[in-house]
Amino acid sequence: MMRTFDTVGVVGLGTMGAGIAEVFARSGLRVIGVETDENALARGRGHLENSTGRAVARGRMTAEQQREILDRIVFTTSREDLADADLVVEAIPEIMEFKRGLFADLDRICKPSAVLATNTSSLSVTAIAATTSRPGQVIGMHFFNPAPVMRLVEVIETVVTEEGLAAEIAELARRLGKTPVVAGDRAGFVVNRLLLGYLNHACHLLQSGLAGRDDIDTAMKQGVGLPMGPFTLLDLIGLDTSYKVCEVLFGESRDRRHAPAPILRELVTAGLLGRKTGRGFYSYTGEGTAPAPEALSKPAISLVGIVGGGPAAASFVSGLDTAGFKVVIAEAPDLGPVAGADLVIALSDTPVIELAVRLPRPERLVGLHLVGESVAEVVSTVLTSDEAVTAVCDLVTVLGRTPVRCADRAELVVNALLYPYLNDAVRMLECGYASAADIDAAMRLGCGYPAGPFEMLDGIGLEKVRDGLRALYAEYRDPAFAPAPLLDQLVTAGVPSVRSVG
Ligand code: CAA
């Protein structure tokens, strides 16, 4: 017989717990919200009032509906009030000791039929279940921040989960207007396993000086169409949570991609945890906000030299023509035609430094890689002058693109971040953890990505990604960048889509 979930307890009313309580209350369920003390309870109530108040302000909900939602929630500091709950979802900090203590309490307090769920981002649901006398009724129910907005719920079953329970929780998630993806108990599940590898990689690239914070965020938001750049998202998730998830992932995978970047540790130790503390990678207190952009001015350059051919170079040259610049082009290995230009722009796959050393004035050479319709990666070498970089940034801005400054490294910023993430998704499929359709849905609905990793792979082309990964591996020698065997084999076999096998 299917269980009915009418009364739901939510333990922990921080950002996630309050969001989860709101989701249940919006769907008409009775909610018991539990916090440790009156201060924490008031903060939790504040989160809920703000979030629903924002919906009222935007005309998405009436004040009457807001009152009904809030009235469905009982706020308490006593866990004993959960005795009648049909389901309890835990959203307390990611510390195993705290979770074990809580679940032992819940097991004692809640009625025998109650299901106990954890919203853990990465910890072992099996280990949490083992602290209770009802491990078959313990399950993962993982929401995404902001819980009222993101449509995914990961439902995590363990080897001892009662048969049929995952399907019942998945059905409940649908009742909440969410899309469930059911997966086994592995560190990071589907989304965090892929997402945190990518976010942590962005931290490593920032630390290595490849590009600045704003440049990397702009590259991924505008260049790939993600809703947020990696540092804005890390600040939203919380740097402490992100750090802990990485540690758990690394503990299981021993993959350097998951070893938390030192910059995360430093920020966390300093108490700069992201939005919730007013500062993380960015400041949210009004100080240090970006200055207003300067008015555009066309750089004073008499002659622009272009190195490279193909459609990207042709369209860029046509833009320069239209903007009134005089252009000379070197399409072949002979760089003679551009030797006398005021500024030389390389639009080719050759490392920029290899071209620079062949020019009489290498400080005038800047690399350029056009990403999508609106971003241009502006590449400087150890020999490039600041004036040349500034001139190219002004020039691409005049041509309607946002410049992203970076150093001359394999695959620059966007592809260096995107391709290993796509490779991780192929590895996840390859080891049989989840299907391509589930992985795609999880990333689209859990993170608001415009497409899942396999949809992106098809769009870019498997061979291009495989070759990019080989270039990254050759540059950084990190085994995580070696193309997944499945990707390599599909390219060799001429199969155009990973989705055809998963
Ligand atoms: N609470 C409630 N509603 C919120 C909200 C919040 N904190 N933040 C935004 N919203 C709502 C807004 O009210 C708005 O709704 P309407 O369209 O109905 O008016 C909608 O979301 C869009 O908000 P905004 O216009 O203010 O801002 P936006 O368009 O930039 O969207 C965003 C904000 C939804 C957060 C979007 O940037 C996004 O999708 N970002 C990616 C978030 C993400 O990746 N989350 C997953 C993190 S990983 C995780 O959570 C798992 C883990 O275990 C670590």
- Distance (Å, whole) CA 235 – CA 242: 9
Work out the average pLDDT over 71-87. Answer: 98
**CB–CB of 61/52 below 8 Å?**
yes
Residue 230 structure tokens:
């990696």
CA distances from 260 to 3, 203, 246, 283 (A): 41, 9, 5, 22
Query: Where do we find the tokens 């620079």?
Result: 356
Q: Per the structure block, which two tokens stand in for 47? A: 């989160």
What's the mean pLDDT in 115-136? 96
> What b-and-e string marks burial along 315-325, b requiring 16 or more CB atoms within 10 Å of the CB?
ebbebbeeeeb
- Categorize the per-residue pLDDT at 289 as very low, low, confident or very high, splitting at 50, 70 and 90: low
The upper half-sphere exposure of residue 109, i.e. CA atoms within 13 Å in the direction of its Cβ, equals 19
From the CA of 382, how far away is ligand 1's center (Å)?
Answer: 40
Place of tokens 């018991």: 32
Q: What backbone phi and psi angles, to 5 degrees, belong to 335?
A: -90, 5
70 lines ligand 1 (CB under 6 A): no
Residue having the nearest C-alpha atom to atom 30 of ligand 1? 227
Burial of 494 (0-12, 13-18, 19+ CB in 10 A): exposed
144 lines ligand 1 (CB under 6 A): yes
DSSP string computed for 424-474: HHHHHHHTTSS-HHHHHHHHHHHH--SS-HHHHHHHH-HHHHHHHHHHHHH
Of 446, 444, 438, 442, whose CA–CA distance to 145 is shortest?
446
Q: Which residues contact 429 (CB under 8 A, 6 or more apart)?
A: 435, 436, 439, 454, 486, 498, 501, 502
Q: Residue 204: which region, alpha, beta or left (left: phi > 0; alpha: psi -120 to 50)?
A: alpha
d(CA 133, CA 112): 10
Q: What is the average pLDDT value for the chain, to the nearest integer?
A: 95
Distance CA 183, CA 156 (A): 5
Confidence (pTM):
0.94
In three state form, how does the secondary structure of 31-60 look? EEEECCCHHHHHHHHHHHHHHHHHHHHCCC
305 Cα: distance to centroid of ligand 1 (angstroms): 44
Residue nearest to atom 11 of ligand 1 (CA): 149
Distance spanning both ends of the chain, measured CA to CA: 33
Interval 146-158: pLDDT, tens: 999 999 999 999 9
Q: Is the CB of 57 under 6 A from ligand 1?
A: no
User: What are the pLDDT digits (tens) for 408-460?
Assistant: 999 999 999 999 999 999 999 999 999 999 999 999 999 999 999 999 999 99
Query: What's the CA-to-centroid distance between 148 and ligand 1, angstroms?
Result: 8
Task: Give the mean pLDDT of 358-381.
Answer: 96
| 393-417 per-position pLDDT tens digit | 999 999 999 999 999 999 999 999 9
User: What average pLDDT does range 121-149 have in this prediction?
Assistant: 96
**Sequential DSSP letters for 330-364:** E-SS--GGGTT-SEEEE-SSS-HHHHHTTSSSGGG
Structure token digits, residue 465: 């990604």
